[in-house]
């Protein structure tokens, strides 16, 4: 499939999908400048857990979905994106961004999603997601949630 579009300065853009299913945008056929949007990799929990390594090396986080276990006690929990290549011990950690507060009620499968868009959030060392009972230090909540991430 081929789509023709107009760029921000009036140039003609050609959008096509290559044999590997990458989307390519070309602005000038005589001097091709091609941007490839790579498909992301799904990273999913297989059981309820406190933390999950989304990627153990440099990369980009596109989105993440968290579903709390209904058996987790009621309370405010903090979803943390930690700058690390493995799940660190409880205590002081370095965050990619401030933790997100999530109010959870016992018996409910509380769900939380964040979307970083096509560009995503880049990180240099790795990315771990964690449910903590404390906001600015890591205090794991055992078997708290399922995680589903989309990373490059």
CATH topology of domain 41-151: Jelly Rolls (2.60.120)
What local confidence, expressed as pLDDT, does residue 43 receive? 93
Greater model confidence, 148 or 12: 148
Whether pLDDT at 100 is above 60: yes
Q: What is the mean pLDDT of residues 49-78?
A: 95
Mean pLDDT of the chain: 86
pLDDT band, very low/low/confident/very high, at 12 (cuts 50, 70, 90):
confident
Q: What is the mean pLDDT of residues 125-141?
A: 95
SS3 annotation, the chain: CEEEEECCCCCEEEEEECCCCCEEEECCCCCCCEEEECCCEEEECCCCECEEEEECCCEEEEEEEEEECCCCCCEEEEEEEECCCCCCCCECCCECCCCEEEEECCCCCCEEEEECCCCCEEECCCEEEEEECCCCCECECCCCEEEEEEEC
Whether pLDDT at 115 is above 90: no
Whether pLDDT at 18 is above 80: no
| Reported pTM | 0.76
Whether pLDDT at 34 is above 60: no
Domain ranges across the chain: 2-37, 41-151
pLDDT band, very low/low/confident/very high, at 48 (cuts 50, 70, 90):
very high
Determine the Cα–Cα distance for residues 36 and 22; give it in Å rounded to an integer. 6
Greater model confidence, 40 or 135: 135
Phi, psi for residue 140 in degrees, rounded to 5:
-60, 145
Determine the Cα–Cα distance for residues 29 and 31; give it in Å rounded to an integer. 6
């Amino acid at each position: 499939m081929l789509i023709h579009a107009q760029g921000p300065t009036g140039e003609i853009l050609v959008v096509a999908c290559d044999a590997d299913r990458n989307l390519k945008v070309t602005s000038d056929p005589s001097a091709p400048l091609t941007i490839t949007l790579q498909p992301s990799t799904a990273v999913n929990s297989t059981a309820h857990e406190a933390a999950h390594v989304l990627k153990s090396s440099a990369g980009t986080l596109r989105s993440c979905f968290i579903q709390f276990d209904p058996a987790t006690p009621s309370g405010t929990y903090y979803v943390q994106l930690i700058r690390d290549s493995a799940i660190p011990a409880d205590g002081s950690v370095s965050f990619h961004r401030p933790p997100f507060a999530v109010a959870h009620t016992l018996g409910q499968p509380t769900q939380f999603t964040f979307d970083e868009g096509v560009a995503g959030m880049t990180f240099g060392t790795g990315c771990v997601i964690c449910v903590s009972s404390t906001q600015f230090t890591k205090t794991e909540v055992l078997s708290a949630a399922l995680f589903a991430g989309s990373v490059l």
